Structure 1
Amino acid sequence: MVDSLRDQLLKSGIVKQLKDEKRQQQPPARQGSPHGKGKPPHRPNKPARSQEEMDLAKAYAMRAQTEAAERKRLEQAAAEQARLKRERKAKLQQLLEGKALNKADADQVRHFEYGGKIRRVYVDAPQLAELNAGKLGIVQHGGHYVLVTQSIAEQVRDIDPHLLALLVDPATGGVGEDGVPDDLMW
Structure 2
Amino acid sequence: MVDSLRDQLLKSGIVKQLKDEKRQQQPAAKPNAHGKGKPPHKSHNKPARSQEEIDLAKAYAMRARTEATERRRAEQEAAEQARLKRERKAKVQQLLAGKVLNKPDADQARHFEYGGKIRRLYVDATQWADLNAGKLGIVQNGGRYLLVSQSVAEQVREIDPHLLALLVDPSSGGSGEDGVPDDLMW
Q: TM-score, normalised by structure 1?
A: 0.74
How far apart, CA to CA, are the structure 2 residues paired with 1:162 and 1:35? 78
Corresponding residue for residue 91 of structure 2: 91
Corresponding residue for residue 157 of structure 1: 157
> Which structure's residues are more often helix, by fraction?
2
The two structures, once aligned, show a CA RMSD in angstroms of: 2.4
| Residue pairs, 1:125-136, within 5 angstroms | 125-136=125-136
Task: State the SS of the aligned residue for 1:60.
Answer: helix
Match of 2:41, as an amino acid? R
Matched-pair contact (CA < 8 Å) for 2:29–2:39: no
Match of 2:52, as an amino acid? E
Distance 1:47 1:151, change over 3 A: same
1:41 Cα deviation after fit: 4.1
Find out whether 1:36 has 2:36 as its counterpart.
no
| Residue pairs, 1:30-179, within 5 angstroms | 31-36=26-31, 41-44=39-42, 45-175=45-175
Deviations 1:85-139 (A, max 9, x none): 1111111110111110000111111111111111111111111111110000000
1:35 Cα deviation after fit: 4.4
* Number of positions where the alignment pairs a residue of Structure 1 with one of Structure 2: 154
Distance 1:33 1:158, change over 3 A: same
How far apart, CA to CA, are the structure 2 residues paired with 1:74 and 1:34? 55
Distance 1:37 1:159, change over 3 A: same
How far apart, CA to CA, are the structure 2 residues paired with 1:86 and 1:140? 15
1:180 Cα deviation after fit: 2.2
Could you list the structure 1 runs, at least 4 aligned residues long, displaced by more than 6 angstroms after superposition: none
Q: TM-score, normalised by structure 2?
A: 0.74
1:36 Cα deviation after fit: 3.1
Distance 1:104 1:174, change over 3 A: same
Deviations 1:125-154 (A, max 9, x none): 111111110000000111111000000000
Flag the structure with larger Rg.
2
Matched-pair contact (CA < 8 Å) for 1:136–1:148: yes
Distance 1:35 1:61, change over 3 A: closer
How far apart, CA to CA, are the structure 2 residues paired with 1:35 and 1:169? 94
Task: State the SS of the aligned residue for 1:110.
Answer: strand
Task: State the SS of the aligned residue for 2:172.
Answer: coil
Matched-pair contact (CA < 8 Å) for 2:92–2:156: yes
Q: Which runs of 5+ in 2 are unaligned?
A: 1-24
